[in-house]
Amino acid sequence: MIGGMHHGIKKLLLLGAGHAHVQVLTRLAQQHPADLDVTVLTPYNFQTYSGMTPGFVAGHYSETDCQIPLAPLFKAAGARWLAGRCVGLNAGSRRVQVAAHPNSPGNVPSELSYDLLSIDTGAVMDRERLEADMPGASEHALMVRPIEAFARLWPEVVALARRQPVSVAVIGAGAAGIELMLAVRQRLQTEGMDGCRFTLVTGGVEVGSNYPDGVQRRILRQLKRHGVTVLREACVGIEAGRLHLANGATLACDVPILAIGTHAPPWLQGSGLELSDTGHVLVNHFQQSASHPEVFAAGDVCSRADQPHAKSGVYAVRAGPPLADNLLAAHRNQPLKPHHPPANTLNLLSCGAGHAIASWGPLHAEGAWAWRWKDRIDRAFMARYTLPAP
Ligand SMILES: Cc1cc2nc3c(=O)[nH]c(=O)nc-3n(C[C@H](O)[C@H](O)[C@H](O)COP(=O)(O)OP(=O)(O)OC[C@H]3O[C@@H](n4cnc5c(N)ncnc54)[C@H](O)[C@@H]3O)c2cc1C
């Protein structure tokens, strides 16, 4: 038995409705133990699928195409939804501090207790840390996380570009930054907005530095073909209308989009949970906290102690079914099963709707077929978790 759990009803608390938790909810819809009380604390009644967000920016998908409605999933899973965020955790006393979402439909308590806890709240962009590296960022930049806020603000950029040509700079040249840059260009171009300028600011490294050389060359060709200027410089400050670069130069910029590396949520500090060097929840091969056996985590919020891997949606998705198995097993006091994350994952990088670069380990290719493939995979993922309205 997990330390201290008593007989009777056990409380499972799910923090966040990320890529792994939507699968835990689906599993609970099929199999909900009568003695398990399930609460989900997450701010919105939809889950934004980031894989389709660049397609939304490009104008290929609507906002709702990229959202999994959660109300039907909560209902099918027999879970109670509390609209709010976790803002503090005391793993020793098994308590979570809650900030209610301003539009919360019901009463949200300021504190919750649990017998079993599962964390899938994703990564954050820590404004204080960004501001320290890049003064002005928190006031002037459009941040890609929280992704719900970014999706809400994007139409305002399009509206601005309808009034005047804009210069857009994406800061951060990892997968998300590259996809967003090409999606922005496609959208403004197809809306007939001439005279816009597009710049990708890499932070000093090569574009797509995590990718093999051959993929990097393909990405650079696409950026060149679409008229995107690449600046291999760090951005060190942002003010209205311009960016400051590490080499002392300034870049005129109406819309700075920040797509640089994400951070672990600050509320994990002081939680008592064992954390990785980067402040993420350290988990073992059961996706279970290294320090607290009644706590599990999946997705960008955690790091595997045994097999560290990249933080991406694909890994969060893969961890969903084993996380569901292990939560149910922990509840029943049964042995847990190890989860083996794949060594290589298929990566489909969209270059604006209609073209994508596919890579898997050292192999890579590109074309319209790769984009259709990505579109099919993404729509199938959405369809699997989109239940009819209750
Ligand atoms: C533009 C963009 C494109 C991307 N494209 C891809 C791609 O094509 N392929 C890929 O593999 N990866 C992609 N990624 C990375 C991917 O988004 C993340 O790796 C993935 O979202 C991680 O999933 P997650 O389940 O950990 O968290 P998330 O998907 O971030 O979900 C977190 C959930 O928790 C909720 N939440 C957040 N904070 C709290 C809190 N304090 N309390 C309670 N609930 C909270 C959120 O509202 C949300 O429901 C992309 C990222 C971006 C920004």
User: Read out DSSP for 224-263?
Assistant: HHTT-EEE-S-EEEEETTEEEETTS-EEE-SEEEE----B
Calculate how far, in angstroms, residue 6's C-alpha sits from the geometric centre of ligand 1: 34
Q: What is the pLDDT of residue 7?
A: 59
Calculate how far, in angstroms, residue 49's C-alpha sits from the geometric centre of ligand 1: 7
CA dist 337 to 38, 117, 232, Å?
22, 17, 45
- Per-position pLDDT tens, the chain of length 390: 344 444 589 999 999 999 999 999 999 999 999 999 999 999 999 999 999 999 999 999 999 999 999 999 999 999 999 999 999 999 999 999 999 998 777 789 999 999 999 999 999 999 999 999 999 999 999 999 999 999 999 999 999 999 999 999 999 999 999 999 999 999 999 888 889 999 999 999 999 998 999 999 999 999 999 999 999 999 999 999 999 999 999 999 999 999 997 899 999 999 999 999 999 999 999 999 999 999 999 999 999 999 988 899 999 999 999 999 999 999 999 999 999 999 888 999 999 879 999 999 899 999 999 999 999 999 999 999 998 876
* Amino acid symbol at 44: Y
Calculate how far, in angstroms, residue 5's C-alpha sits from the geometric centre of ligand 1: 31
Q: Which atom of ligand 1 is nearest to the CA of 15?
A: 43
Residue owning tokens 């857009």: 168
Terminal-residue alpha carbon distance, the chain: 36
Q: Which atom of ligand 1 is nearest to the CA of 19?
A: 25
Q: What is the pLDDT of residue 3?
A: 43
Q: What is the pLDDT of residue 1?
A: 39
Q: Could you give the residue ranges of the DSSP H alpha helices within the chain?
A: 19-30, 53-58, 71-77, 127-133, 137-140, 147-163, 175-190, 213-225, 313-332, 368-385
Q: What is the pLDDT of residue 324?
A: 98
CA dist 388 to 23, 43, 72, 172, Å?
16, 21, 7, 38
Partners of 327 in the beta sheet? none
CA distance 87 to 43: 12
Sheet of 84-90, strand order: 84-90, 95-100, 111-113
Q: Which residues line ligand 1 (CB under 6 A)?
A: 15-20, 41-44, 47, 50-51, 53-54, 85-86, 120-122, 144, 147, 176, 179-180, 265, 299-301, 311-314, 316
Residue ID of nearest Cα to ligand 1 atom 20: 313
Calculate how far, in angstroms, residue 176's C-alpha sits from the geometric centre of ligand 1: 12
CA distance 268 to 122: 12
- The three-state secondary structure class of 110 is coil
Q: Which atom of ligand 1 is nearest to the CA of 145?
A: 53
Residue ID of nearest Cα to ligand 1 atom 27: 122
Q: What is the pLDDT of residue 4?
A: 44
Q: Residues 162, 168, 169, CA angle at the centre, nearest 5°?
A: 170
Residue ID of nearest Cα to ligand 1 atom 11: 313
Crossing angle between the packed helical segments 213-225 and 175-190, to the nearest 10 degrees: 20
219 with 200: CB under 8 angstroms? no
Q: Which of 50, 200, 373 to mutate to test the pocket of ligand 1 (most atoms within 8 A of CB)?
A: 50
Residue ID of nearest Cα to ligand 1 atom 30: 122
Residue owning tokens 């809306």: 191
Mode of pairing for the β-strands spanning 281-283 and 111-113: unpaired
127-261+347-382: which CATH architecture? 3-Layer(bba) Sandwich (3.50)
Q: Which atom of ligand 1 is nearest to the CA of 262?
A: 53
Output DSSP code: residue 201.
E
Q: Which of 45, 312, 373 to mutate to test the pocket of ligand 1 (most atoms within 8 A of CB)?
A: 312
Q: Which atom of ligand 1 is nearest to the CA of 147?
A: 53
Calculate how far, in angstroms, residue 68's C-alpha sits from the geometric centre of ligand 1: 13
Q: Over the Cα atoms of the chain, what is R_g?
A: 21
Calculate how far, in angstroms, residue 155's C-alpha sits from the geometric centre of ligand 1: 21
| Class (C level, CATH) for 10-43+83-124+263-345 | alpha beta
Residue ID of nearest Cα to ligand 1 atom 37: 121
Calculate how far, in angstroms, residue 42's C-alpha sits from the geometric centre of ligand 1: 13
Calculate how far, in angstroms, residue 192's C-alpha sits from the geometric centre of ligand 1: 32
Numbered ranges of CATH 3.50.50.60 in the chain:
10-43+83-124+263-345, 127-261+347-382
Calculate how far, in angstroms, residue 51's C-alpha sits from the geometric centre of ligand 1: 9
